[in-house]
């Protein structure tokens, strides 16, 4: 079963706008990770946030984590057409594996 | 460094045929994984190997077997393919099982 659930399932924005995606999960975690998948390609790791961290930045990406609400958000600022992809959250919990959500399809219109 | 490589890239099988998907990584990672991805869905873990010499079932192991041949290689075998196994298969590796994972390009498998 999927641990992380992304919201929304699909998001369409104009180039230059910010994109926010949310992830909710059910059990305690060691860390939460975000991945990007371009069409027909493998997943690429974007950022990892540990359970004792609340916010993390990497370039135009900002990730927040609220362990009390069991939720995370990924913000992409000043989006570009090249950001068009599917974005997945994945949780690392007590099992020795990641559990992926079903993803958010982001479309950035030029 | 090639990262994670998978062979083949595409494969068409008939129901009942068998095949092995190959995966290799050159990053000296301890952990390796096999996932399947169906249209519009996230990844579902089939099997994983937390370290060389160990393998464990994931969420959807039925119909599959794996072999961690050495630290570099982790193969996935379909003994008797079924149409329900039509999917895109991804191999991944990570330094440890809580770390970021590095993915291969995937194998698109169709079972007729």
Q: How confident is the model at residue B97 (pLDDT cuts 50, 70, 90)?
A: confident
Q: Tell me: the pLDDT tens digits for B3-55?
A: 999 999 999 999 999 999 999 999 999 999 999 999 877 899 999 998 888 99
A61 touches B: beta carbon within 8 Å: no
- Distance (Å) from the alpha carbon of B40 to chain A's nearest alpha carbon: 7
Preceding amide of A8 cis, omega within 30: yes
List CB contacts of B29: < 8 A, sequence separation 6 or more. B71, B93, B94, B95, B102
Size of interface A-B (CB pairs under 8 A): 55
d(CA B34, CA B54) in angstroms, rounded, equals 14
Contact B80, B16 (CB under 8 A): yes
Q: Tell me: the pLDDT tens digits for A16-55?
A: 999 999 999 998 999 999 999 999 899 999 999 999 999 9
Q: Tell me: the pLDDT tens digits for A83-102?
A: 999 999 999 987 778 889 98
| Residues in chain A within 8 Å Cβ distance of B43 | 43, 88, 100
| Strand duo A5-7 + A19-24: pairing | antiparallel
| Residues in chain B within 8 Å Cβ distance of A99 | 45
Q: Is the pLDDT of residue A58 over 90?
A: yes
| Residues in chain A within 8 Å Cβ distance of B58 | 97
* Chain B residues interacting with chain A (CB cutoff of 8 angstroms): 4, 31, 33, 35, 40-45, 48, 50, 56, 58-59, 90, 92, 97-106
pLDDT (average), residues B93-104: 93
Q: Tell me: the pLDDT tens digits for B52-87?
A: 889 999 999 999 999 998 999 999 999 999 999 999
């Amino acid at each position: 079963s999927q641990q992380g659930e992304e919201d929304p399932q699909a998001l369409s924005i104009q180039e230059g706008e910010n994109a926010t995606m949310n992830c909710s999960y059910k059990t305690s975690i060691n860390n939460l990770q975000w991945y990007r998948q371009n069409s027909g390609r493998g997943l690429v790791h974007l950022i990892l946030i540990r359970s004792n961290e609340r916010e993390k930045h990497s370039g135009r990406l900002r990730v927040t984590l609220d362990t009390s609400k069991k939720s995370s958000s990924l913000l992409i600022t000043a989006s570009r057409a090249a950001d068009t992809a599917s974005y997945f959250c994945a949780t690392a919990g007590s099992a020795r594996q990641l559990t992926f959500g079903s993803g958010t399809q982001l479309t950035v219109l030029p | 460094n090639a990262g994670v490589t998978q062979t083949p890239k595409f494969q068409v099988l008939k129901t009942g045929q068998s095949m092995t998907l190959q995966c290799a990584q050159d990053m000296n990672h301890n952990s390796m994984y096999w996932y399947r991805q169906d249209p519009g869905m996230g990844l579902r873990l089939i099997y994983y190997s937390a370290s060389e010499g160990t393998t464990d079932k994931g969420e959807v192991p039925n119909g599959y077997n794996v072999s961690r041949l050495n630290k570099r290689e982790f193969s996935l075998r379909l003994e008797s393919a079924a149409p329900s196994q039509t999917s895109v298969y991804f191999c991944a590796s990570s330094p440890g099982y809580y770390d970021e994972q590095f993915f291969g390009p995937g194998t698109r498998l169709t079972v007729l």
